[in-house]
Amino acid sequence: MKKIVIVAILFSLSYGLTAQISLGPKIGYTTGKLSIDQSDVTTSLKNSLVFGAFLRLGDKYYLQPEINWYTAGGVFKAPSVGGGLSPVEDEVELKSIQIPLYVGFKLFDLKLVQIRAQAGPTASFITDKTINPLAVGQTTSVIKETDISDILWGFQFGGGVDVLMFTLDVQYMLGLNTVIGDINVNGTTVKFDSKQQGFMVTLGWKII
């Protein structure tokens, strides 16, 4: 009996995931901040446009992998680092390819309008790192490229609305590993312990 129930559940899920396929481009906007574990270190995070594509497999229950391109970054400020007397101010810009995988389901289906909830893991691969010193008298960056993670793991959750061929998603992004961890400056270890968090809003067009 248990085997029959398990087979029935697997068949229902597989049918639900293959009953409908949607594919299309998307564009959006990200805004957020980097958490910092130091009271004397401050940071700001740049807002950024997002360009990408999505594939939705399923109807009431679905899987939605995506690929997105965006530029993130911010300015890290500190009164001094490593016993120096000069303030530190480094601007960091990161170009990223983000690949999330959402699991979702429809909360309401009003034919022309559907309301969804979804969540899932995400990986952001850093393809380019740019670091510039901004403080007066600061000639070199305190933060180095090797101090920045190459892959940022995260978890995103939120909801969406489908109207005809358009799909609007609002996600909260929660970083699981540090963008910049501990760095060594003149023999002193500075704990940045920064994790990315914020919102992503995207608008997609289902061409299929």
Average pLDDT over residues 179-196: 73
Residue 97 in contact with residue 127, Cβ under 8 Å?
yes
* Per-residue pLDDT at 87: 73
- Select from 193, 199, 150 the least CA-distant residue to 173: 199
Which range (22-26, 93-97, 98-102) has the least confidence?
A: 93-97
Q: State the architecture of 20-205 in CATH terms.
A: Beta Barrel (2.40)
Name the residue with higher pLDDT: 83 or 113: 113
DSSP letters spanning 13-39: HHHHHHS-EEEEEEEEEEEEEEE-S-T
DSSP letters spanning 41-97: -EEEE--EEEEEEEEEEESSEEEEEEEEEEEEEEEEEES-STT-SS-EEEEEEEEEE
- % of the chain at pLDDT higher than 90: 45
Count of alpha carbons within 13 angstroms of residue 198, beta-carbon side: 19
Helix (H) / strand (E) containing 143? none
In the chain, where are the structural domains located?
20-205
Most confident of 75-79, 82-86, 106-110: 106-110
Which range (2-11, 32-41, 83-92) has the least confidence?
A: 2-11
Helix (H) / strand (E) containing 176? none
* Per-residue pLDDT at 8: 46
Name the residue with higher pLDDT: 186 or 93: 93
Residue 136 has pLDDT above 60, yes or no: yes
Give the C-alpha separation, 179 to 195, whole Å: 6
- Select from 45, 24, 22 the least CA-distant residue to 34: 45
For the chain, how big is the Rg over CA atoms in Å?
21
